Structure 1
Amino acid sequence: MILLTRRAEFSASHFYWNDDWSAEENERVFGKCANRNGHGHNYTLEITVSGDVDAKTGFVVDLKELKEILEREVVSVYDHRHLNYEVPEFRDAIPTTENIAIAVWKRLDGKIPGAKLERVRVYEMPDLFAEYYGD
């Protein structure tokens, strides 16, 4: 078995807000990130898959197909979107880096032929990322 990691990038905006709290509580907990107009990031996504190396191709997974899956399942859905308003999984969840990593996992798990999804890492900024390894 070997691990293979692929990167993708997308730009999106979001804000942090808990509907069960008052505006004052949201502003106290989330600060500037509670601004309902949102703010944006250039996210970097890394997904790591595992599997056996195919003796004929030398690949764990078809790299072109992996890129197409990432584009279809994540990048085309998240890129240049306001996550709170335009991406269904964040209508009821705060789009934190942590929740984005979980949502990406759910979008990709079981959809990569011949490989097992091992890790999703989402960078919100170069010095801030969240990793998710599944349940």
Structure 2
Amino acid sequence: MKVAVYRVEHFNAAHRLHNPEWSDEKNQSVFGKCNNPNYHGHNYNLEVGVFGEIDPDTGYVYDLKALSDLIEEKVLNKLDHKNLNVDVAEFENLNPTAENIVVVIHDLLRSEINEKYELKIKLYETERNYVEYPV
């Protein structure tokens, strides 16, 4: 019997969407306000889902306190109140779109969570825009 458990977190970060291979005009055309050279910020909402079998000894699929601590250590400490383009090594050569951010978050957590668990990340960039990985 597979069950999903979720932890919801929040972080704030700034970024600029920009492709250095393109002209300023093309970047502005494709990314619009998100290409502001002085960056812009979001209040991100993060949902982390872990899917697996219920442990008969604990009654847990995954200890949510342990998941909360892991998210804080691996994700929030790295991304919260940061300029993603400037402060986060993973985005040194990767455009920090919501799609790329969700994959980075997944990879940061996947390496720490046993492969017997499925992991799904949902990231809300705004109340109306979110991305999910994997699908």
Q: What's the TM-score once normalised by structure 1's chain length?
A: 0.93
SS in 2 for 1:67: helix
**Aligned residue runs from structure 1 range 87-102, under 5 A:** 87-102=88-103
Q: What's the TM-score once normalised by structure 2's chain length?
A: 0.93
Q: Which runs of 5+ in 1 are unaligned?
A: none
Q: Distance in 1 between matches of 2:116 and 2:79?
A: 24
Q: 2:20 aligned with 1:19, yes or no?
A: yes
**Aligned residue runs from structure 1 range 78-93, under 5 A:** 78-93=79-94
Amino-acid identity (%)? 40
What residue identity is the alignment partner of 2:99? E
Report if aligned partners of 1:49, 1:115 keep a CA contact under 8 Å in 2. no
**Aligned residue runs from structure 1 range 1-135, under 5 A:** 1-113=2-114, 116-133=117-134
SS in 1 for 2:108: helix
- Runs (4 or more) in structure 1 with deviation over 2 Å come to 112-115
How far apart are 1:36 and its partner, in Å? Answer: 1.6
What residue identity is the alignment partner of 1:36? P
Cα displacement string for residues 90-129 of structure 1 (whole angstroms, at most 9, x for unaligned residues): 1111111111111111101131248524311100011100
SS in 2 for 1:5: strand
